[in-house]
Amino acid sequence: MSSRPSMWPSWPRSLTARLIISLVAALALAQIALILILNSQQDGIAERIIHSQTLPTTATLTRILITSPPDEQDRIITAFRSRLSCAAIISEPPASREMSAAEKNLAGRLFRLLNGLKTGSPQVAIEQSPPRCADRQQVDDDPRDEARIVGFVTSIPLSDGRWLEIRNGVDIPPFWSPVALLSFSLSSLAAIAAVTMVVRSQTQSLRMLANASERLGRGETLSPLKISGPSEVAATTQAFNTMHQRLSQFIRDRLRLLASISHDLRTPLTTLRLKAEFIDNDEVREDIVATIDELTTICEATLAFTRAEVNKEETVPVDLADLIRQVTEEFRLTNSEVHLGALPSQPYPCRPVALKRALRNLVENAIRYGGAASVALQKADGEVIISVEDEGPGIPEDEIEDAFEAFVRLEPSRNMETGGLGLGLSIARSIVKAHGGSLSLVNRQGRGMRAELRLPSK
């Protein structure tokens, strides 16, 4: 059963069009609010005119002028003239315009006051400026009075075809009166709230995309994002999903290839070791066997690393202080010297097995090259910092970055017992980067090295 088409036009797919429509709607809302404020102000002016003597004075002046001889009319008009009032008999009718509801109300009241006179229906107009009746310098010494005085113009058709035009000044409260200020504030807040709600709703997909990008940078497993929002954002989200799929497939393929190579090398290495045992020269045999054992260890380490990467664990919240205690306890069981510094409780979402491996590699390096390790945890500058210190000889400044390269061993011997494989720091940094953090080595003053594992605070 097909759904009935909506009577409303569909929301445009383009983000640009949506924002333009939102801004235009907000401007229209502000204009409507301003019109309502002005109409409300005009109603207030009309009320002040009704409760003043303006209408009776206008009716009285009209009655006097109509009943006076023509040669007396100019004298009466001159006598009526004041700072905010003036009158004139003109031959041309006023410009045609539609009176507002407030003006029609005033015109009706004035017409009733003119009952019995031979005049037509009066026309009135409320002007936003004072009446032009006197020298502008005489209006008031305070220029702010200009904003507190409006003009009330009355045009009354006479029986001879001429028009009597009477202008009066009306005192009004300043525009920024409490009522007007409240009305303007409410209309502005309504427009701002409307624009904010629309913009936030239209950029929600962008925020989701930014969050997914951040999680992808930390190496977390992501599900494809839902395609929603404006056309530009939907296209970007689709491109992100495609990129994520291709990138994940590329990494998996390379890891499987590396694992396959390492796995396939184990059989020929085992064969070589067996054949090496038949070499009569003890020195040559031991050297070859040591080399084969080193290659075998490298293959096993590579296999373990690729298995861990392919079968990536889920992110779960853990207490980093407990995780550090678990790692250091492993070394204490082997009689290694490990000291614990400050370990405040620090809940943190991470992949605990991978992070423990990175920390284990750092502690192992500290023990291997410094004899002992000191581990501490702190939070500073929006980061969680795990530091591992030793009392070893340190590393020359120009070789620190080389220490993070895979299979690079700064220890001069080729003994794996003292120099390792050269994978520990490389793996540790990869794991930390996958968590969105950083790993650095710093030579301590005097003697020793400090490894700083920094994770972004969440």
- If asked whether residues 295 and 370 sit together in one domain, one would say no
Whether residue 330 sits in one domain with residue 270: no
For the domain that residue 267 is a member of, what is the CATH number?
Answer: 1.10.287.130
Give dist(CA 192, CA 184) in Å, integer: 12
pLDDT of residue 133: 65
**354 and 437 in a common domain:** yes
Residue 226 counted as domain residue: no
The number of domains in the chain is: 3
What pLDDT score does 87 carry? 87
Q: How far apart are CA 179 and CA 26, in angstroms?
A: 22
- 159 in the same domain as 118: yes
Helix (H) or strand (E) holding 54: helix 54-67
CB atoms within 10 A of CB 101: 10
75 residue type, one letter? R
- Looking at the structure, tell me whether residues 321 and 448 fall in a common domain: yes
Please say whether the dihedral angle defined by the alpha carbons of residues 13, 15, 21 and 22, taken in this order, is positive or negative. Answer: positive
CB 211 within 8 A of CB 222: no
Residues 391, 370 share a domain: yes
Contact 139, 130 (CB under 8 A): yes
Pairing of strands 347-350, 383-389: unpaired
Assess if residue 2 is contained within a domain: no
Residue 435 sits in the same domain as residue 333: yes
Residues 276 and 339 in one domain: no
453 in helix, strand or coil? strand
Look-up of token digits 């405040």: 344
Residues 95 and 132 in one domain: yes
**198 assigned to some structural domain:** no
Q: Are strands 316-319 and 163-171 parallel, antiparallel or unpaired?
A: unpaired
In this prediction, residue 413 carries a pLDDT of 44
Note whether 451 and 345 are same-domain residues. yes
Whole-angstrom distance, CA of residue 116 vs CA of residue 61? 14
371 within some domain: yes
Domain-terminating residue out of 263, 290, 308? 308
Q: Assess if residue 135 is contained within a domain.
A: yes
R_g (Cα) of the chain, nearest Å: 45
The structure tokens listed for 400 are: 């620190």
Can you give the pLDDT of all 458 residues of the chain as single tens digits? 444 555 555 666 666 676 777 777 777 777 776 666 666 666 667 777 877 888 888 888 888 888 888 888 888 888 888 877 888 888 888 888 888 888 888 888 888 888 878 788 888 887 767 776 654 444 444 455 555 677 788 888 888 888 988 888 777 665 555 666 676 777 778 777 877 787 777 778 888 888 888 777 766 677 888 888 777 788 888 898 898 888 878 877 777 777 777 777 777 888 888 888 888 888 888 888 888 887 887 777 777 666 656 556 778 899 999 999 999 999 998 888 999 999 999 999 988 988 998 999 999 989 988 889 999 999 988 899 999 999 888 888 888 888 887 666 655 444 445 445 567 788 888 888 888 889 999 998 878 899 999 998 86
327 domain-assigned: yes
First-residue to last-residue Cα distance in the chain: 49
Q: Is residue 259 part of a domain?
A: yes
How many C-beta neighbours within 10 Å does residue 259 have?
19
**Is the separation of the CB atoms in 370 and 443 below 8 Å?**
no
Tokens 């390492």 -> residue: 262
* CA within 13 Å, CB half, 377: 19
Triad 380, 433, 326: Cα angle to 5°:
70
Cα 294 to the center of its chain, rounded Å? 53
348 with 386: CB under 8 angstroms?
A: no
Same domain, 283 and 325: no
Final residue of a structural domain among 246, 280, 308: 308
How far from 362 is each of 153, 347, 432, CA to CA, in Å? 90, 21, 12
Q: Which residues pair with 169 in a beta bridge?
A: 151
Instruction: Say if residue 328 is in the same domain as residue 290.
Output: no
> Which has the closest alpha carbon to 46: 152, 182, 128, 177?
152
Domain interval for residue 398: 314-456
The DSSP code for 158 is B
Q: Which of 175, 193, 213 is a domain's end point?
A: 175
398 assigned to some structural domain: yes
| CATH code, domain with 442 | 3.30.565.10
Predicted pLDDT of residue 360: 92
pTM: predicted TM-score of the whole model, two decimal places:
0.47
